[in-house]
């Protein structure tokens, strides 16, 4: 019989446990901005690491042992060119982990914007303006820097994966057992040559006795487009729907609106996140634009298969 994650653990939370944004939101100081501006312009990463040494320890503690997410405000996008922003952002991410590839070309920086592609299997949703339901990414940490918000919509929602797990265990323990069984995942047409277009992995597995939820339900459902993929059972579909239903309950998630210069950092082992559909500005230069980093943290917190991003194909 499975046991819930301890209610005393900081990774188990609901919005009532985080009533004030100051718990997870940090304003960068003028000195912080100056250090980031300097590394963006001149590339002195050693001085940046020294400047943020104590802060990086605090952020890592919050990400690994606390609520599992934080927001930094006032990243100096207004002081830097596009190339300098990328350099400074990569240097900031490197304080917390090693940047890893996010696509078949192993790009370590991804531009999150609407590329006006028709939604569907094989098109990753970050390249559209469509809603992304609650999910986790393929790395220890994921970070998003807002360069330009949408005209409307695009809100980010965050939920404790352990709180969702506990509630699912309370409602339907047999479906939690189903989530520990391997399920097929679509590879979005990014599989290595000669490899099948899907892989199999349980959405939940234990590491050091603690459940770790790796969850992208539409990848699992999309796998059914391939004739050789194992068919999903009624219980598997019900388990996916249960976890989505709990995560989408306002009693379990918080909402975060991105402003220019905001940096959101999430621990994929402890939280799930979603994005609402959005409407863009007519002017291409004002359209929603985020920069994403995937990071492998020094301390493993999830399955080895999921820690190192996507290798170059």
Reduce the secondary structure of 18-66 to three states and give it as a string.
CCCHHHCEEECCHHHHHHHHHHHHHCCHHHHHHHCHHHHHHHHHHHHHC
With vertex at residue 226, the alpha carbon angle to CA 229 and CA 243, rounded to the nearest 5 degrees, is 65
**What is the per-residue burial (b if ≥16 Cβ within 10 Å, else e) of 33-50?**
bebbbbbbeeeebeebee
Express each pLDDT in 26-68 by its tens digit: 999 999 999 999 999 999 899 999 999 999 999 999 999 999 9
Model pLDDT, residue 103: 78
d(CA 231, CA 242): 19
- Which pLDDT does position 184 carry in this prediction? 97
Q: How confident is the model at residue 301 (pLDDT cuts 50, 70, 90)?
A: low
Cβ atoms of 268 and 135 within 8 Å: the answer is no
In this prediction, residues 94-123 reach a mean pLDDT of: 85
Mean pLDDT of the chain: 92
* Contact by Cβ (8 Å): 69, 277: no
- What pLDDT, on a 0 to 100 scale, did the predictor assign at position 67? 94
Q: Homologous superfamily of 23-306 in CATH?
A: Clavaminate synthase-like (3.60.130.10)
User: Which residues are CB-neighbours of 55 under 8 A, at least 6 positions away?
Assistant: 32
Angle at 211 between CA 155 and CA 134, to 5 degrees: 20
In angstroms, the CA 226 to CA 6 distance is 40
By the 10 Å C-beta count (0-12 exposed, 13-18 middle, 19+ buried), 83 is classed as: exposed
Instruction: Tell me how far CA of residue 160 lies from CA of 146, 150, 254, in angstroms.
Output: 23, 26, 9
Q: Give the pTM.
A: 0.93
DSSP state of 139: B
């Amino acid at each position: 019989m499975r046991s819930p994650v301890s209610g005393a653990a900081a990774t188990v939370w609901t919005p009532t446990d985080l009533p004030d944004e100051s718990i997870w939101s940090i304003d960068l100081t003028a000195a912080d901005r100056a250090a980031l501006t300097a590394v963006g312009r001149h590339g002195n990463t050693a001085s940046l690491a020294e400047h943020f040494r104590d802060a990086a320890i605090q952020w890592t503690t919050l990400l690994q042992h606390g609520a599992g997410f934080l927001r930094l405000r006032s990243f100096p996008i207004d002081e830097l060119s596009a190339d300098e922003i990328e350099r400074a952002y990569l240097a900031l991410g490197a304080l917390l982990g090693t940047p890893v590839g996010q696509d078949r070309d192993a790009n370590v920086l991804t531009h999150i914007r609407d590329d006006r592609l028709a939604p569907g299997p094989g098109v990753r949703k970050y390249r559209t303006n469509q809603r992304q339901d609650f999910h986790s990414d393929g790395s220890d940490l994921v970070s998003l820097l807002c360069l330009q918000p949408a005209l409307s919509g695009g809100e980010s929602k965050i939920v404790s994966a352990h709180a969702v797990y506990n509630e699912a265990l309370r409602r339907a323990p047999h479906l939690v057992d189903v989530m520990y069984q391997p399920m097929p995942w679509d590879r979005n047409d990014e599989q290595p040559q000669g490899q099948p277009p899907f892989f199999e992995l349980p959405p939940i597995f234990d590491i050091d006795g603690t459940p770790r939820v790796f969850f992208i339900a539409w990848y699992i459902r999309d796998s059914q487009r391939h004739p050789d993929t194992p068919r999903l059972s009624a219980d598997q579909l019900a388990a996916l729907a249960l976890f989505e239903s709990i995560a989408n309950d306002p009693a379990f998630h918080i909402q975060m609106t991105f402003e220019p210069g905001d940096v959101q950092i999430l621990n994929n082992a402890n939280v799930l996140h979603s994005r609402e559909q959005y409407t863009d500005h007519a002017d291409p230069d004002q359209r929603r634009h985020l920069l994403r980093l995937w990071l492998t943290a020094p301390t493993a917190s999830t399955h080895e298969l999921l820690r190192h991003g996507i290798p170059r194909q």
